[in-house]
Amino acid sequence: MEGFCEDLVTALKEVVSNTNWQCVGEKDNFKSPCTKFYSEDGQHVVLIHTGDDRFYAMDSACPHEGGPLEQGDIEELANGRMVLTCPWHDFEFCLNDGSSSSGLQNNVYDVKVYEGKVYIQTQNALSLVPWKETLCKQTAAMETVKLLPCTDKESLCYWASRILGTADPEEKAKLTHQVQELWNSGNISDIGQTLPPAQPCRKENLTIVQPGKIKRGKGGTLASRIALLHSLANIEQWAIDLSWDIIARFAGFQLRTGEMLPREFFSDFVKVAGDEAKHYRLLEKRLLELGSNFGALPVHNGLWQSAADTAHDLLARLAIVHMVHEARGLDVHPQTLQRFSAQGDEYSVKVLEVIYTDEITHVAAGLKWFTYICTKEQKDCLSTFHELVPLYFKGYLKPPFNSEGRKSAGMTEEWYLPLVKPS
Ligand code: FES
Ligand SMILES: [Fe+2]
Ligand SMILES: [Fe+2]
């Protein structure tokens, strides 16, 4: 009988190791409700330990806008469902199946406790500390941008650098609209060259915290609507800078054919910059109407990371900023809209609808110039995109996708479905 038990244990151990069950440590080590595990493939996992001693696991990046679920609250809903609530905008995710009343869906993983140890079923190696950065930069593939100080006050690059160096967001938006007008009327016609700042300027009194440290109010309140509008205004301020940065940083970009980028490229991104400035102003106005203002709450600078990671590679910049992040903005629009309309905030709904319509054209601009460069350089557009995204974007793209919005931007499923985690 003793031998039989030993055989059984060995057999069980084999089953455990053969089915991608990863031991993550002693059960007693997981006293706190949430523990984050870093995954080798960038799809990090949160292990949840409930008060009644059960374990669950799901992706730690919120499927809404990537909020840190490991900092969320575990709650029991009136219907008895146990959920983890995201600290950023309060969407809840069922511990059993990852579903959410918002329509979003998170990935969940099976968890087992065996002989005092906790096992999570996943193919990727998990670690309590971040994996070494293995980002591979494709510098060889691209021409180096010539970085020269800009002295020509009539050039677009001079103004791009000046706007990036402007800390006050209202002033940044105002200058953007002035330069847009001057460019459109032909009063600024030279593109010029510049050395853009590594990071745009921000107002000194703006409280900047780590991306994970922003805690939003509970849903269904004025405070939570203000918090959401404030986080969107922060995104728009960064979006103004991202538009000027792509102009300034890649002004000297040469295609492999030796050609420079056509004027239309710069016109398109001046238009994007103008839209983002308009979005910032609309949101700031709405915040004032609701008794707040931009800067009243802490913000994070996480959005600039993608700009820094892709500063040397125009195709990567277009792919990550415009075809991944801005396209994700289209995906989350229906849930955000629902938040405001459920509370009867029709003015904010109108603002969000204006932003959404413009954002479709920004994804379209990214796609247009990505395919332009690939075609000129005789690269396959889709396979180049599918190779670049995993290099610069950690983790997989997450459904649900706003396929209608993406399609209006020209982004059909073959672009993004291959980047979803294989089931
Ligand atoms: S990022 Fe999680 S709810 Fe918005
Ligand atoms: Fe925008
Ligand atoms: Fe945008």
Ligand nearest to the CA of 89: 1
Q: Peptide bond before 211: cis, by omega within 30 degrees of 0?
A: no
Q: What pLDDT does residue 128 have?
A: 84
Residue with token string 């109010």? 217
Q: Are residues 31 and 61 in the same domain?
A: yes
- Compute, in angstroms, the gap from residue 210 CA to the centroid of ligand 3: 23
The residue to mutate among 46, 64, 398, having the most atoms of ligand 1 within 8 angstroms of its beta carbon, is: 64
Which residue CA neighbors atom 3 of ligand 1 most closely? 89
How many domains are contained in the chain? 2
Query: Is the predicted pLDDT of residue 150 greater than 60, yes or no?
Result: no
Pick from 27-31, 189-193, 417-421: least confident: 27-31
Q: Which atom of ligand 1 is nearest to the CA of 69?
A: 2
Q: Are residues 57 and 114 in the same domain?
A: yes
* Ramachandran sector of residue 295 (left: φ over 0; alpha: ψ -120 to 50; beta: rest): left
Average model confidence (pLDDT) across the chain:
87
Domain annotation covers residue 134: no
Ligand nearest to the CA of 354: 2
Domain annotation covers residue 133: no
Q: What whole-number percentage of the chain has pLDDT above 70?
A: 88
pTM for the model stands at 0.77
Q: Show which of 72, 101, 127 is a domain's final residue.
A: 127
Q: Using a CB cutoff of 5 Å, list residues around ligand 3, an ion.
A: 239, 359, 362
Q: Contact 237/129 with Cβ under 8 angstroms?
A: no
Q: What pLDDT does residue 18 have?
A: 58
CATH number of the domain within which 122 lies: 2.102.10.10
Q: What pLDDT does residue 133 have?
A: 44
Query: Is the predicted pLDDT of residue 151 greater than 80, yes or no?
Result: no
Q: Are residues 220 and 85 in the same domain?
A: no
Domain annotation covers residue 191: yes
Q: What pLDDT does residue 173 have?
A: 98
The residue to mutate among 59, 62, 218, 328, having the most atoms of ligand 1 within 8 angstroms of its beta carbon, is: 62
Q: Are residues 87 and 171 in the same domain?
A: no
Q: What pLDDT does residue 16 have?
A: 52
CATH number of the domain within which 274 lies: 1.20.1260.10
Q: What pLDDT does residue 134 have?
A: 40
Domain annotation covers residue 94: yes
The residue to mutate among 86, 228, 332, having the most atoms of ligand 1 within 8 angstroms of its beta carbon, is: 86
- Compute, in angstroms, the gap from residue 356 CA to the centroid of ligand 3: 9
Q: Are residues 158 and 266 in the same domain?
A: yes
Mean pLDDT of 171-193: 95
- Compute, in angstroms, the gap from residue 33 CA to the centroid of ligand 1: 19
Position with higher pLDDT, 365 vs 141? 365
Q: Which atom of ligand 1 is nearest to the CA of 91?
A: 3
Q: What pLDDT does residue 72 have?
A: 87
Q: Are residues 111 and 174 in the same domain?
A: no
* Ramachandran sector of residue 209 (left: φ over 0; alpha: ψ -120 to 50; beta: rest): beta
Q: Are residues 61 and 82 in the same domain?
A: yes
Q: Show which of 62, 92, 127 is a domain's final residue.
A: 127
Classify residue 372 as exposed, middle or buried by CB count within 10 Å of its CB (0-12, 13-18, 19+).
middle
Mean pLDDT of 56-78: 88
Output the CA–CA distances (angstroms, integers) from residue 395 to 39, 45, 61, 294, 416, in the order listed: 9, 11, 9, 31, 13
Where in the sequence is the domain holding 50, given as residue range(s)? 20-127
Domain annotation covers residue 1: no
Mean pLDDT of 39-62: 90
Q: What pLDDT does residue 15 have?
A: 56
- Compute, in angstroms, the gap from residue 258 CA to the centroid of ligand 1: 44
Q: What pLDDT does residue 13 have?
A: 59
Q: Are residues 287 and 388 in the same domain?
A: yes
Q: What pLDDT does residue 145 have?
A: 39
CB atoms within 10 A of CB 4: 8
Pick from 12-16, 279-283, 300-304, 310-314: least confident: 12-16
Q: Which atom of ligand 1 is nearest to the CA of 86?
A: 2
- Give the confidence band of 213 by pLDDT, cuts at 50, 70, 90: low
Measured CA to CA, the distance from residue 410 to residue 329 in angstroms comes to 15
Q: Show which of 127, 162, 181 is a domain's final residue.
A: 127
- Compute, in angstroms, the gap from residue 41 CA to the centroid of ligand 1: 21
* DSSP helix/strand/coil, 300: strand
Mean pLDDT of 299-305: 82
Q: Are residues 63 and 117 in the same domain?
A: yes
Output the CA–CA distances (angstroms, integers) from residue 276 to 222, 238, 353, in the order listed: 25, 9, 14
Q: Are residues 119 and 167 in the same domain?
A: no
Domain annotation covers residue 13: no
Measured CA to CA, the distance from residue 291 to residue 329 in angstroms comes to 26
Domain annotation covers residue 8: no
Q: Are residues 158 and 31 in the same domain?
A: no
Q: Are residues 111 and 74 in the same domain?
A: yes
Ligand nearest to the CA of 355: 2
Q: Which atom of ligand 1 is nearest to the CA of 332?
A: 4
Position with higher pLDDT, 125 vs 229? 229
Q: What pLDDT does residue 330 have?
A: 96
Identify the residues whose C-beta falls under 6 Å from ligand 1.
62, 64-67, 86, 88-89, 91
Domain annotation covers residue 268: yes
Query: Is the predicted pLDDT of residue 132 greater than 70, yes or no?
Result: no
Query: Is the predicted pLDDT of residue 417 greater than 90, yes or no?
Result: yes
- Give the confidence band of 127 by pLDDT, cuts at 50, 70, 90: confident
